[in-house]
Amino acid sequence: MSPHNASVSTHAFDLVIIGAGPAGMAAALRASRHQLNTLLIDEQPEVGGQIYRNIRSTDPQREKILGSDYSHGGKLAAEVADAVAAGRLNYWPGTSVWQVDTEKTLHALRDGRAVTIQTDAIIVASGAMERPFPVPGWTLPGVMSAGAGQILLKNASMVPGEPVVLAGCGPLLYLIAAQYLRAGVKIRAILDTTSGTDWKLAWRHGRDLLKGWRYAQKGVGMLREIRNAGVPFHHGIQDLRLEGEDALERVRFDSGGRQHTLDARVCLLHQGVVPNTQITWSLRAEHHWDDTQLCWIPAVNEWCELSVPGIYVAGDGASIGGALVAALQGELAALGVLRQLGNTDSGTLARDADGLRRQIDTQLAIRPFLNRQYRPRDEFRIPADDVLVCRCEEVTAGSIREQVALGCSGPNQTKSFSRCGMGPCQGRMCGLTVTEVIAQASGLAPEDVGYYRIRPPLKALTLGQLAQIDQ
């Protein structure tokens, strides 16, 4: 099964994998070992996804700052590079998918040129994005996500030029704090939106914590590193406000019944990550609202296959499980594709798949604790009336509530009323908030409120690029 060119820009493969993070890399390696004609595509110039970003071109100093979890991705990335060099795997960096359909035709921009790809199976490994953090002033320059801070460190060795404020909750917030401290960056304060470790909760999840002890131990180590550095740490903060004229100047918050004001030009926000479901929604695949992770999860069978036959989803794009789970799910999805294509012994497949599922279960043991401990509080997900929900079209939570009072019962109606979700980001930054604001205002469950009807093009393209499609 070799690729053939139907026209200049059309390619055919057995399997196309979207996203070269841990899930996509592991899926690609498994599939290529079984001689599937596989194409791995990714938006970035290098493999690794967000978690292992720039893993192929980092240096020992930066690796020391980023820590051993980051270095772990090096092995996968090296194997992918070997497979590509040996001609066992096709890899297109700098490629953005803007349409996927149920017939398994993909349209993408490869280095700015339109390409069409036909395939028998697709694994969507598009990963996670950070949960929106709608607070007053979150659109000001200088206010960024903690993930953005990490990407600047991994990709460009860049750090805040002056003392930085970190606000929110979750492992990634403490990780970037520890990494900044190792890099000699001054942290003005950490504003924790949780009330500290809930020991009663930890006790209840004792068995899970024991199973996930490696992970728990790392978390405790990071928190100790931060505490030993003497960084001011405020627990259970409320009423977070980011203020400034044309850029961030001050961070205000309440803590311990007192109002605080910190001068700062950079504030990094984080309250967990959620699956990036833009592609799976565009396929009209079945999704469900997950009350423990407070986000949409695409429905999958035991082989990671969506309700759309032949299209699979693995990694954090399926449900948040972290990099190790993502790699295991990538392999499992690849086995699902082998099963679908029917050219591998089914007994071997079933045995391998069971082994992977057991490892996934062990790795996921700590998640219920993390989901409870770092559950973002309502006030930071379902904001007050004056807060911008849709950054692109500048629609406030209050305006969404007014539209609900007028009879809007879902995000597609509020979109028609206010353009909320219609700007350049196509609802990526406001979708979850809008679902939850409508749910709260209407008394409906998020599951019944639903989500935006996501349509192609998933990425902006010019008419010229569209005209290159040769059909």
Partner 1 sequence: MVANALFVRLPADRGADSSPPTVEVYLNDTPLRLPANTSLAAGMLAAGVTRFRNASVSGSARAPYCMMGVCYECLVEIDDVPSQQACLTQPRAGMRIRTMDTLPGLAFPGDAPQSADAPAPHGEKA
Cα–Cα distance, 37 to 26 (Å, whole number):
15
Place of tokens 């409870």: 372
Nearer to partner 1, 174 or 180 (CB): 180
Taking the complex as a whole, the smallest distance from the CB of residue 201 to partner 1 amounts, in Å, to 30
Among 24, 70, 91, 130, binds partner 1 (CB under 8 A): 130
Rounded to whole angstroms, what are the CA distances from 140 to 252, 408, 449? 14, 30, 30
Cross-strand pairs, 304: none
Torsion sign over Cα 320, 125, 144, 68: positive
**349 contributes a contact to partner 1 by CB under 8 A:** no
Taking the complex as a whole, the smallest distance from the CB of residue 186 to partner 1 amounts, in Å, to 12
Taking the complex as a whole, the smallest distance from the CB of residue 12 to partner 1 amounts, in Å, to 27
**155 contributes a contact to partner 1 by CB under 8 A:** yes
- The token pair that represents 149 in the structure block: 């801070």
**406 contributes a contact to partner 1 by CB under 8 A:** no
Among 34, 81, 84, 152, binds partner 1 (CB under 8 A): 152
Among 51, 97, 140, 251, binds partner 1 (CB under 8 A): 140
Nearer to partner 1, 30 or 428 (CB): 428
Among 24, 387, 428, 450, binds partner 1 (CB under 8 A): 428
**96 contributes a contact to partner 1 by CB under 8 A:** yes
- The token pair that represents 164 in the structure block: 């930085």
- The token pair that represents 63 in the structure block: 């690796």
Nearer to partner 1, 178 or 308 (CB): 178
Applying the rule CB under 8 A, the residues between 37 and 56 that interact with partner 1 are 43-45, 50
**86 contributes a contact to partner 1 by CB under 8 A:** no
- The token pair that represents 140 in the structure block: 């000001």
Stretch that binds partner 1, among 132-140, 306-314, 323-331, 373-381 (CB under 8 A): 132-140
Among 145, 329, 399, 403, binds partner 1 (CB under 8 A): 145
- The token pair that represents 136 in the structure block: 């007053």
Among 4, 8, 103, 184, binds partner 1 (CB under 8 A): 184
Mark 435-464 with x for binding to partner 1 (rule: CB under 8 A) and - for no binding: -------------------------x-x--
Among 161, 230, 256, 443, binds partner 1 (CB under 8 A): 161
Cα–Cα distance, 293 to 280 (Å, whole number):
18
Backbone φ and ψ for 341, nearest 5 degrees, come out as: -80, -15
**148 contributes a contact to partner 1 by CB under 8 A:** yes
Q: Are strands 238-243 and 250-255 parallel, antiparallel or unpaired?
A: antiparallel
DSSP 8-state assignment for residue 376 = P
Taking the complex as a whole, the smallest distance from the CB of residue 297 to partner 1 amounts, in Å, to 18
Taking the complex as a whole, the smallest distance from the CB of residue 394 to partner 1 amounts, in Å, to 4
**424 contributes a contact to partner 1 by CB under 8 A:** yes
Stretch that binds partner 1, among 22-30, 31-39, 61-69, 446-454 (CB under 8 A): 61-69
Taking the complex as a whole, the smallest distance from the CB of residue 37 to partner 1 amounts, in Å, to 27
**393 contributes a contact to partner 1 by CB under 8 A:** yes
**196 contributes a contact to partner 1 by CB under 8 A:** no
Taking the complex as a whole, the smallest distance from the CB of residue 269 to partner 1 amounts, in Å, to 9
Q: Are strands 287-290 and 295-298 parallel, antiparallel or unpaired?
A: antiparallel
**129 contributes a contact to partner 1 by CB under 8 A:** yes
Nearer to partner 1, 31 or 326 (CB): 326
Among 265, 367, 381, 401, binds partner 1 (CB under 8 A): 265
Backbone φ and ψ for 393, nearest 5 degrees, come out as: -100, 5
Rounded to whole angstroms, what are the CA distances from 171 to 53, 174, 273, 367, 382? 18, 5, 10, 12, 22
DSSP 8-state assignment for residue 127 = -
Cα–Cα distance, 459 to 468 (Å, whole number):
16
Rounded to whole angstroms, what are the CA distances from 208 to 214, 215, 274, 329, 375? 11, 11, 22, 20, 17
Mark 226-245 with x for binding to partner 1 (rule: CB under 8 A) and - for no binding: --------------------
Alpha carbon 165 to its chain centroid, in Å, reads 22
- The token pair that represents 105 in the structure block: 């035709």
**Cβ proximity of 79 and 97 under 8 Å:** no
Total Cβ atoms within 10 A of residue 63: 14
Number of residues forming the site for partner 1 (CB under 8 A): 50
Taking the complex as a whole, the smallest distance from the CB of residue 295 to partner 1 amounts, in Å, to 14
* 167-195: b (≥16 Cβ within 10 Å) or e: bbbbbbbbbbbbbbbeeebebbbbbbbbe
**71 contributes a contact to partner 1 by CB under 8 A:** no
| Site residues for partner 1 per CB under 8 A | 43-45, 50, 57, 59, 61-62, 64-65, 96, 129-130, 138-145, 147-148, 151-152, 155-161, 183-184, 246-247, 265-266, 276, 391-394, 423-425, 428-429, 460, 462
